[in-house]
Structure 1
Amino acid sequence: MIDVLPPTQPYLRPQYPVSTERLLLRPLSAHDVEAIHAYRSRPEVCRYVPFEPMTRELISERISSSWARSELTEEGQALTLGVVIAETDELIGDVVLFWHSREHASGELGYVFNPDFGGRGFATEAASAVLRLGFEELGLHRIVARLDERNEASAQLARRLGMRQEARLVQNELFKGQWSTELDFAMLADEWSARRTA
């Protein structure tokens, strides 16, 4: 029998910036519009994610509303953080933690990065920081990542994080005019702890 533990706290209020070895994670602001537009406007970046290439106007709109959140206080909310290289102060992507259920202590990880900064481990480093926030500060039991099977770079990132593939949903969704096969990855809090202490 598995012990059921409640979340350690009913909210997430990180101390900003959230620092990693090379990166700073912080809430997005109006000053980030150009840097975000540099990657979220690119068709190749948006190909396998649930949005189309974004205009500066749409990015500004998002920042003034849903992306401006700096804490999670209720299930159903999402915390989107800009990822900045500490040494250069360049914003190179954004990561998101969705809080799906308080009762089930479940969440979801998402990430979008500027491909100009790929191949250096920045996405892995930033996504790992989000897992830490979810498990260690919000007290989640389970975090998932759902992605299009054709997005091999995203699947490799989930595997590098230590998330295990739990499902392959064949042609489960009509996505941008084509049938998409979804891969579902997941990690549990005790798996996160084991990786941290290994």
Structure 2
Amino acid sequence: MSYLPDYPIVTPRLRLRPFTRGDVDAVHEYRCREDVALYLFDPPLSREECALAIHQRVLQTEFHQEGDKIVLAVEEVERARLVGEMSLVWRSADARQGEIGWIFHPMHQGRGYATEAARALLALGFEGAGLHRIFARCDARNTSSWRLMERLGMRREAHFREHALFKGEWDEEFIYALLHREWRTE
């Protein structure tokens, strides 16, 4: 399967679009923060590290083979201001599985942007790419993330306790998922 979405993806308040090199400063504003990096695999990023990440993301816009990623900038339509990012990773070709993820600037949290953007990306995965199951995972302490998963209609499928060392501590992780047929009933 090859899948190239038609960009931008526009919702009532947001535009999901491929990253550009001009996004480095806006991404650095939130990716340099300790509170944002707390539950991410990466530590807070320097501007140079953000520039390298953006350079990779510019090319992550379509699926050609298992493991490919679609990583999109999320910006407010009204102000054309970048507020976060969404990702969809093609995890299994045979089982038609994907993984969704998000990172939002704390200044823009609590407005429903992540829910709106995630619904658009779920539609892209299920209806555009033809995925059967999309899952998400988060640190069990990341209440806002797992609550978002529940708002999206995802079900908690697993709670892994002390399954890996994460930033020097034992990690607890939740796995949530949604099937295509469940998405259609939303």
**TM-score with structure 2 length normalisation?**
0.97
Secondary structure in 1 matching 2:67: coil
Contact 1:78-1:96 within 8 A present in 2 as well: yes
Residue type at the aligned position of 2:168: G
Task: Give SS of 1:58's match.
Answer: helix
1:74 to 60, 65, 78: 65
Could you give the per-residue CA deviations for residues 151-180 of structure 1, whole angstroms, max 9, x where no partner exists? 001011101111000110111111001111
> 1:68 is paired with a residue of what secondary structure?
coil
AA at the equivalent of 1:41: C
SS at 1:37's partner residue?
helix
In the alignment, which of 144, 152, 167 is matched to residue 161 of structure 1?
152
Per-residue CA deviations over 1:123-154 (Å, capped at 9, x if unaligned) read 00001111111000000000100110000010
Q: Can you list the C-alpha shifts for 1:94-115, whole angstroms capped at 9, x where unaligned?
A: 0000001111100100100001
Identical columns (%) = 44
SS state at 1:99 partner: strand
2:172 corresponds to: 181
Whether contact under 8 Å (2:21, 2:58) holds in the other structure is no
Listed one character per residue, the Cα deviations across residues 170-197 of structure 1 (whole Å, up to 9, x for unaligned) are 11111001111110000000000010xx
5 Å-filtered alignment, 1:54-65, equals 54-65=45-56
Matched, 1:120 2:111: yes
Residue 59 of structure 1, CA deviation: 1.4
What's the Cα RMSD here? 0.9
The 8 Å contact of residues 67 and 79 in structure 1, kept in 2 or not, is answered as no
Higher relative contact order (CA 8 A, sep 6+): 1
* 1:73, distance to aligned residue in structure 2 (A): 1.3
Q: Unaligned stretches of 5+ in structure 2?
A: none
Aligned to 1:42: 33
Aligned counterpart, 1:147 = 138
- Cα contact 1:11–1:74 (8 A) shared by 2: yes
Segments of 4+ moved more than 3 angstroms: none
Partners of 1:56 and 1:95 in 2: CA distance: 20
